[in-house]
Amino acid sequence: MATQTRHPFPFLPVTRADMEARGWDQLDIIIVSGDAYVDHPAFGPVLIARFLEGRGFRVGLIPQPDWHSAEPFKALGRPRLFFGVAAGNLDSMLNRLTAQKKNRSEDQYSPGGRTNCRPDRASIVYAQRCREAYPEVPIVLGGIEASLRRIAHYDYWSDKVRRSILFDAKADMLIFGMGERPVWEVADRMRRGEQFQDIRDVRGTAYLINDAETKALEADPARRAVDRKVVVLPSFEEVVGDTRAFAVMSRDFQMETNPGNARPILQRHGNRAIYINPPPRPLDDGAGAGDGSVGMDELYDLAFNRVPHPMYKERIPAYETVKHSIVLMRGCFGGCTFCSITEHEGRVIQSRSAESVLREVRALRRMGDFRGTITDLGGPTANMYKLKCRSEEIEKRCRKLSCVHPGVCENLRTDHGPLIDLMKQVRQEEGVKHVFIASGVRYDLAERSPEYVKELAAHYVGGQLSVAPEHVSPRVLEKMKKPGIESFERFQHMFACASEEAGKEQYDIPYFISGHPGSSLEDMVELAVWLKQKGKRPRQVQDFIPTPMAIATAMYHTGMDPLKMEPVYTAKGLREKRLQKALLLYWNPEHWPLAREALKLAGREDLIGRGPHALVPPETAAEAARRKRAEERERYERRAR
């Protein structure tokens, strides 16, 4: 009885015994995931599996299978419709390696935080094993790894341009973005008897076509649809050999990300091509239209136990982070060039209803370890809930990549009222003692709502508030598509005043990026001086990682801004990236040697000293001795090699 109370819903089948307990001899769909099985909506592959289950499909899950043979992929038998394959909540390479290409010490999505629970490029490996297990079963790639590798892309970890992941995975279809709509349409059409190979018009899907089809589309791009000309990107062979062609590809791709006006995309790879349908329509706000559409509320009303599967005896770090948090919305219209949220979730904000959020709060209250504290009430951004363009027609026609850069669009409704009302309702819910906002606050929007800043400071900050100005240099911020530092400083003042008014001692904790395209050592010195003047000692510093398909990644690889087709400086070597990061950590003695080197290279030795304006002190005798020993050791090792 205790087990039934703790787990009110049957977990998705992970063994044959689980299938037999439900009286099933065959599953319709099997989802293979690189993450441990946590029955919670924050885990993408599980969310998709529960969504399909909620719509009447028999769905099983194979979490973190041993990929060294096909046998573990046969554990649940042959699926009737298809295999769904996802690397997990993160790109598997990003999950394993840091910006310095060193192994991470922990895998947040594995039991006990253990590493090596999934292969590199997990989507490719898992798909190949599924093919070995059941050669005739269709394979559908999904999740963020596949989504952001759907065209030719620069791969930071191998430092080369790789072809679309569909070619290497040898899968039959790729679903990109948040895949509920397309995966439902594909599964439903197959259930109704349509052959998988005939399903080629679903928004949010991509598939491979042969040479004859490719030539026909290249010769007459308008033939695919009367008024939706196919956009032909530079070929894989062109972008491998020509950085300018890569920049053109990146620019043209970005112009086709608005579901309201996006056209199909074609990119040739040798004698075949990938054909990409327009992005899926955003989910409906709230409960949806009720005509078979998908509403945000439906996803969070699904049968989640909100805990890891009982087969795990060790903690799963990512679960500990999200178990008492609540997502209000998805999508982001910020358009930051270093971020892939827009490419994956879309720029149209999709929000839950207040009733749905309150139902989840009550579900949290029933959890045995809930003590009244909601650790986050947000999403990709804390304060974009219910924010939309004032006109659907304007939104459908718009091809801007950001609604807030270079300034907040006059057509964007920035009313924080619905969010403030919802925050109050959650805070006042029975059994809730504290509600915190840990998601990053978009300060250029927040400064337009003094009431929001006051409510935030008074009730939702546990002493420290996360914000992300990222840099101070206007030149770098323009390449990031972030607002000027003046906007952040205005918000800082508003937040400080609101905290004082609430009688609380609270601080903003700014996040910064080092090594971003456009940022030179001189720009990082400017940032370090600003930090020193403001008395800031950032501990959360992100060394820029070029993730697949991001605009900043195209800048990093090509040395060119693809949106303006002009040169942009980029720190390419790992050592220069370390030098830039050391300037951000100027206050930490561990980083003083590299910070001094950076200052000398930037011609700013005036900032080395013991005066009030100096960033780092001069080298001590002990440091000099350590440096000389390290240099001698390095010379010896070089000779030995």
Q: Are residues 19 and 104 in the same domain?
A: yes
pLDDT value at 538 more than 90: no
Report d(CA 376, CA 398) in Å as an integer: 32
Question: How many CB atoms within 10 Å of residue 358?
Answer: 16
139 and 208 in contact (C-beta within 8 Å)? Answer: no
pLDDT value at 226 more than 50: no
610 within domain boundaries: no
Average pLDDT of span 471-485: 96
- Print the domain residue range for 42: 2-204
pLDDT value at 4 more than 60: no
pLDDT value at 143 more than 90: yes
- pLDDT, averaged across the chain: 93
- Where does the pLDDT of residue 292 fall: very low under 50, low under 70, confident under 90, or very high at 90 and above? low
Look at residue 225 in the predicted model and tell me its pLDDT.
Answer: 44
Task: Read off φ and ψ for residue 581, nearest 5 degrees.
Answer: -65, -40
584 within domain boundaries: no
* CB-side neighbour CA atoms (13 Å) of 219: 6
Q: Are residues 198 and 211 in the same domain?
A: no
Look at residue 629 in the predicted model and tell me its pLDDT.
Answer: 83
Look at residue 5 in the predicted model and tell me its pLDDT.
Answer: 44
Q: Are residues 185 and 215 in the same domain?
A: no
Last residue within a domain, chosen from 247, 279, 311: 279
Q: Are residues 226 and 108 in the same domain?
A: no
CATH number at residue 7: 3.40.50.2300
Q: Are residues 230 and 260 in the same domain?
A: yes
pLDDT digits (tens, 9 = 90+) for 112-124: 999 999 999 999 9
- Among the listed residues 288, 574, 324, the one whose alpha carbon sits nearest the alpha carbon of residue 438: 324
Beta bridge partners of 205: 175
pLDDT digits (tens, 9 = 90+) for 341-378: 888 888 899 999 999 999 999 999 988 889 999 999 99
Q: Are residues 40 and 128 in the same domain?
A: yes
pLDDT digits (tens, 9 = 90+) for 235-248: 999 999 999 999 99
Q: Are residues 89 and 143 in the same domain?
A: yes
Q: What is the dihedral of CA 310, 130, 25, 16, to 10 degrees?
A: -30
- Among the listed residues 628, 582, 623, 588, the one whose alpha carbon sits nearest the alpha carbon of residue 601: 582
Task: Read off φ and ψ for residue 132, nearest 5 degrees.
Answer: -65, -40
State the DSSP string of 239-280.
Answer: HHH-HHHHHHHHHHHHTT--TTT---EEEEETTEEEEEPPPP
User: Buried b vs exposed e over 534-550: b needs ≥16 C-beta within 10 Å?
Assistant: eebebeeebbbbbbbbb
pLDDT > 90: percent of the chain: 86
Report d(CA 507, CA 510) in Å as an integer: 9
- Among the listed residues 337, 331, 316, the one whose alpha carbon sits nearest the alpha carbon of residue 513: 337
Residue in this structure with the two tokens 């279809």, named with its chain if needed: 173
Q: Are residues 237 and 98 in the same domain?
A: no
419 within domain boundaries: no
Question: How many CB atoms within 10 Å of residue 17?
Answer: 8
| Residue 172, both tokens | 């039959």
pLDDT value at 224 more than 50: no
Q: Are residues 152 and 172 in the same domain?
A: yes
Last residue within a domain, chosen from 252, 279, 306: 279
Look at residue 6 in the predicted model and tell me its pLDDT.
Answer: 61
DSSP count for the chain of H helices, then E strands: 26, 24
pLDDT > 70: percent of the chain: 97
Average pLDDT of span 102-130: 97
Report d(CA 265, CA 235) in Å as an integer: 12
pLDDT value at 228 more than 80: no
19 within domain boundaries: yes
Report d(CA 462, CA 442) in Å as an integer: 18
Look at residue 1 in the predicted model and tell me its pLDDT.
Answer: 31
558 within domain boundaries: no
Coil vs helix vs strand at 111: helix
Burial-class residue 14 by CB neighbours within 10 Å (0-12, 13-18, 19+): middle
122 and 88 in contact (C-beta within 8 Å)? Answer: yes
pLDDT value at 634 more than 80: no
Last residue within a domain, chosen from 279, 296, 318: 279
Q: Are residues 134 and 180 in the same domain?
A: yes
Q: Are residues 187 and 210 in the same domain?
A: no
Question: How many CB atoms within 10 Å of residue 263?
Answer: 18
Look at residue 631 in the predicted model and tell me its pLDDT.
Answer: 77
Look at residue 457 in the predicted model and tell me its pLDDT.
Answer: 97
Say how many domains are in the chain. Answer: 2
249 within domain boundaries: yes
Task: Read off φ and ψ for residue 500, nearest 5 degrees.
Answer: -65, -40
| Residue 556, both tokens | 């990093």
Burial-class residue 228 by CB neighbours within 10 Å (0-12, 13-18, 19+): middle
Question: How many CB atoms within 10 Å of residue 610?
Answer: 8
pTM of the prediction?
0.93
Average pLDDT of span 326-340: 94
Q: Are residues 172 and 227 in the same domain?
A: no
DSSP state of 233: P
151 within domain boundaries: yes
256 within domain boundaries: yes
